[in-house]
Structure 1
Amino acid sequence: MTLALRLVDLAKTFPVGKRLFGKPKGKVRAVHPVTLDVERGETLGIVGESGCGKSTLARMLVGLLEPTQGHVEIEGAALDTADPALFGKRIQYVFQDPISSLNPRKTIRQIMEAPLRRLHGMKATERQARIREIFDSVNLREEFLDRYPHEFSGGQAQRIGIARALAAQASILVLDEPVSALDVSVQAQVLNLLADLKGEYGLTYLFISHDLAVVEAVCDRIAVLYFGAVVELGRAEDVFRAPLHPYTRLLAESAPVVGRPLTAPEAKETELPDPLNPPSGCAFRTRCPRATERCAAEVPTLETAKSNHQKAACFHPLSD
């Protein structure tokens, strides 16, 4: 196994109610310490409800947020968050909203040239040759280079965003909801493109999405986040076929399926935990039908429950 990416106790805490003088009123732990290994050439899916910490985790990986603790290693080398160039050359971010992620004041050519010039110091002739190569890879015409972002559809803009990430020659792409803003037919085109690029360039993907059907189709492994912590980790087919954690099953049952009536898996008065006053023990216990006194007294770790290639942070896994 060759590791492309390793997260070592990576965590992020934000101050809340910051005052002009003195300490903040409180703190919110957006991401609890996460330790993960991602193999080279793998697609790791990261799923969970809105606000569970997916995007915060992704932004720490690419250096857009500095972690409160822990660090990131790429191919065995720890990256210094003070040097963005190290991140840019090895890992790149593809944003959820393709239009707003592109500078409206610059042409596509200027946008594409920026990483080639600043990260790799390429001369003009080298830059143009590299841009033509990348645009051909993402099935875009060269004439698009002299247009502005507002002139493109969402699918075209997302292809440009992917091309910009490839221009940095990074080996790892963090895909934050890369198809959620696109029509279904365009989603399929972009997903097929990502699969082709992965084989062509030997890429490793971290794929963040709310769409469980997409995640199951494109990912090798799944990491399920809840309240800032990884609560289940395993191969995609295992996690969706036989989840260990009750929260994973809740996510699966919440996803709409053609031909199945829309029913809420939880009571409508169910509330998420308060981040300023988190519950003791397991954060999911207030929503879990299997919770016991132990769940309130202790915090389960990812090693608490195991089944073949799966792990779950649960004292009462569904396999029991």
Structure 2
Amino acid sequence: MTAALKITDLTRTFAIGKRLFGPPKARVHAVNPMSFEVRAGETLGIVGESGCGKSTLARMLVGLLPPTSGQIEIEGRALDRADPAAFGRLIQYVFQDPVSSLNPRKTIRQIIEAPLRNLHGLHGPALDTRIAELFEAVNLRPEFLSRYPHEFSGGQAQRIGIARALAASPRILILDEPVSALDVSVQAQVLNLLAELKARLNLTYLFISHDLAVVEAVSDRIAVLYFGSLVETGPAEKVFAAPRHPYTKLLADSAPVVGRPLGGAQSGELPDPLNPPSGCAFAGRCPRVSDICRAEVPKLRRIEGDQFAACHHPGEF
């Protein structure tokens, strides 16, 4: 079966300290060579600390940021970076801050119309009908179309953002912290809506979040990123219950749990991106570190079943 999304050796570096002539003073590797597949109809949860490369990866996937190297394929088709519309018709982005992601100078109707006109060429009655269908799909009232983004609550604005993404009729949605800015009760409503839309429209999701409980609840599989690299992947019910990489264990222990004191996880920070360590980037925080960890970068490999880890000393933690 063809994967809904496949990335091969995708990388992104940023120049630091640009000069008028000659090369930059340094380069930061935000995303190291990364390869994985997302099956059609599944939800892949992506987790990791701030600065691990989650948002950079997401922006490359939707064409907002060009990769330094590597390839992106959707349903077996390699995307042409010179054709932004190709990205828009196949993959769309739902942003973290729902209100600021909407143009404050445009009405909601104008915001929803843009992808329908530019990507699908809709006009007249066909345009009106499609807008009504989208608003019904996200449970919003038609009278909202004449209003502006600042007139809505966070939950309503996120529903508008979802409607805008669906207007392109994409195959895949990138959900970048889609509920982190919302109240807990509203989070549940938006998550239920996303689950309903996924089932009805046969969508594929990449769900990025810091909330491990939410990611585990909504995901079929989970990908764990650390310092720009993929360090573990596996079924959602296994990755946090029986982690195979020590960083995954650290993430699980860092999540707040009722009855458990805070600060129980091992301390430490991400390495300096301007002076990355040799070998495994997690070696300075790892309880199982050895000489090989400081000398060789571990490769992602199968550990058991569908669980993969990039670790020289994998095991249950």
SS of structure 1 residue aligned to 2:150 = helix
The corresponding residue for 2:120 is 120
The corresponding residue for 1:183 is 183
Worse-matched range after superposition: 256-265 or 62-71: 256-265
The corresponding residue for 1:306 is 303
State the 1:263 CA deviation. Answer: 2.4
The corresponding residue for 1:260 is 260
Please list every run of 5 or more consecutive structure 2 residues that lacks an aligned counterpart in the other structure.
none
CA distance in 2, matches of 1:54, 1:176: 9
Q: Map of 1:63-82 to 2, 5 A cutoff?
A: 63-82=63-82
CA distance in 1, matches of 2:160, 2:258: 32
State the 1:119 CA deviation. Answer: 0.5
Task: Please say if 1:195 is aligned against 2:195.
Answer: yes
- Mapped contact 2:43–2:204 kept (Cα < 8 A): yes
State the 1:266 CA deviation. Answer: 2.0
Task: Please say if 1:216 is aligned against 2:213.
Answer: no
SS of structure 1 residue aligned to 2:231 = strand
State the 1:109 CA deviation. Answer: 0.1
State the 1:74 CA deviation. Answer: 0.4
Task: Please say if 1:16 is aligned against 2:13.
Answer: no
The corresponding residue for 2:5 is 5
Q: Map of 1:233-312 to 2, 5 A cutoff?
A: 233-267=233-267, 270-303=268-301, 306-312=303-309
CA distance in 2, matches of 1:38, 1:265: 30
State the 1:32 CA deviation. Answer: 0.6
- Mapped contact 2:2–2:76 kept (Cα < 8 A): no
CA distance in 2, matches of 1:198, 1:19: 47
SS of structure 2 residue aligned to 1:231 = strand
Give CA-to-partner distance per residue, 1:57-82, whole Å, 9 cap, x none. Answer: 00000000000000100000000111
The corresponding residue for 2:47 is 47
Give CA-to-partner distance per residue, 1:43-97, whole Å, 9 cap, x none. Answer: 0000000000000000000000000000100000000111110000000000011
State the 1:274 CA deviation. Answer: 0.5
State the 1:261 CA deviation. Answer: 1.7
2:292 counterpart letter in structure 1: R
CA distance in 2, matches of 1:195, 1:301: 34
The corresponding residue for 1:317 is 314
State the 1:171 CA deviation. Answer: 1.1
The corresponding residue for 2:94 is 94
CA distance in 1, matches of 2:269, 2:196: 41
CA distance in 1, matches of 2:266, 2:102: 39
- Mapped contact 2:155–2:182 kept (Cα < 8 A): yes
SS of structure 2 residue aligned to 1:318 = coil
CA distance in 2, matches of 1:258, 1:191: 22
Identity %: 72
Over the residues paired in the alignment, what is the CA RMSD in angstroms?
A: 1.0
SS of structure 2 residue aligned to 1:36 = strand
1:311 counterpart letter in structure 2: F
The corresponding residue for 1:105 is 105
Tell me the matched-pair count: 317
CA distance in 1, matches of 2:31, 2:269: 20
Give CA-to-partner distance per residue, 1:11-69, whole Å, 9 cap, x none. Answer: 10000111233221000000011111111000000000000000000000000000000
CA distance in 2, matches of 1:42, 1:150: 34
Task: Please say if 1:130 is aligned against 2:127.
Answer: no
Give CA-to-partner distance per residue, 1:200-240, whole Å, 9 cap, x none. Answer: 11100000000000000000000000000000000000101
Give CA-to-partner distance per residue, 1:97-150, whole Å, 9 cap, x none. Answer: 101100000000000000000001111211110010011010000000000000
CA distance in 2, matches of 1:124, 1:36: 42
Worse-matched range after superposition: 53-62 or 11-20: 11-20
SS of structure 1 residue aligned to 2:240 = helix
CA distance in 1, matches of 2:312, 2:21: 43
